[in-house]
Amino acid sequence: MADLKVKRRVLSACQTNCYYVYREGADEIAVIDPGDNGEIVYEDVKSLGFEKIAGILLTHGHGDHTGGALKLKEFSGAKIYAHEDEAEILKDPEKNLSGWFGKAYGFEADEYFHDKQTFSMAGVDFEVLHTPGHTKGGCCFYAAEDKTLFCGDTIFNCSVGRTDFYSGSMRQLGDSIRERIMTLPDEVKLYSGHGDATTVGYERKYNPCLA
């Protein structure tokens, strides 16, 4: 199997991580959380040598992660995907906080995932892990064969996501991390919505929020 490639672009005033994910030799690419600038993301994709975006994957609906989604869809024709429980937040400008990052907006994803759904995109096999807590429809995208998890704002390097926004719950966040992320192998790499990448094993040992 060809190697998994992950490229990061940091966008927005919140320093949000947008990820470009593809299998070496593939003719298409997946974009996870396009930040607040679809034009920059589209130019990045072209500079990586891709003409086709296989899909735009959203870990949750907050504006610093989704502000570029509609423009990127317009440029590329790619569909937008999110967890089914996040539909309410995506559609509501107050709940998705989009006004904090410029113009307020709401939109529907083209397709909604359910928990444990599997799919292939850009040569990568993913499983959807529903991880409520930061938002009620927050999710992670797990590439088990590649020991890689894109975890949005659920967990960070030595920290965890906020729970003081609409539908946030510290209890749910803790359950999501313990039951859906800390049960993965130590070597699984975690690509978070903000900050540097880490691993399950490192967070298990050093994350003070998990003590």
What confidence score (pLDDT) does residue 1 get? 79
Domain that holds residue 102: 4-210
Residue 126 CA: distances (Å) to CA of 49, 113, 129, 158, 199: 23, 11, 9, 25, 18
Residues in the chain: 211
What pLDDT is stored for residue 105 in this prediction? 97
Specify the pLDDT at position 102.
83
Q: Which residues, listed in sequence order, are joined to residue 94 by a DSSP beta bridge?
A: none
| CATH code, 193 | 3.60.15.10
**Separation of alpha carbons 112 and 134, rounded Å:** 18
Q: What is the amino acid identity at position 198?
A: T
Rounded distance between C-alpha atoms, residue 85 and residue 70, angstroms: 19
CB atoms inside a 10 Å sphere around CB 206: 12
pLDDT for position 60: 99
Number of domains in the chain: 1
Q: Which parts of the chain have pLDDT scores under 50?
A: none
